[in-house]
Amino acid sequence: MLPAFLIGQLARDIKYFGKSVGEVLLLDALERCYGLTGVVGGVAIVVEAINDHATAFYRRYGFESLSDGSDRRLYIPMKVVEKLYQREPVKRLPI
């Protein structure tokens, strides 16, 4: 068994559909986990997708199925997350 971060289900209000809020929430969660790797470790980030739509959403960012037989339990290696942040800065929600 290897140490990993588990992030809860991300959700946004329907009025924000198509405004990239889900992407911003996910990228913020990935960035926070990545930032903690030097303190608490973690070689991957794990999510449990609620449905096929959510599974497809996570897969677009590099998440893969765990080998435990569940199609909705996904993970992304921290090395992939590191590459995400070398390519482009994280989008921020306007506050």
Nearest by Cα to 7 from 90, 73, 85: 73
The pLDDT assigned to 94 comes to 54
pLDDT band for position 91 (50/70/90)? low
- pLDDT > 90? residue 83: no
Q: How confident is the model over 24-73, as pLDDT tens digits? A: 889 889 989 998 888 888 999 999 999 998 999 999 999 999 876 678 89
The reported pLDDT for the residue numbered 43 is 93
* Higher pLDDT pick, 2 / 4: 4
Residues listed for the chain? 95
The pLDDT value recorded for residue 67 is 76
* Lowest-confidence segment of 21-30, 76-85, 86-95 by average pLDDT: 86-95
- List CB contacts of 9: < 8 A, sequence separation 6 or more: 47, 48, 50, 54
Q: Residue 95: is its pLDDT beyond 50?
A: no
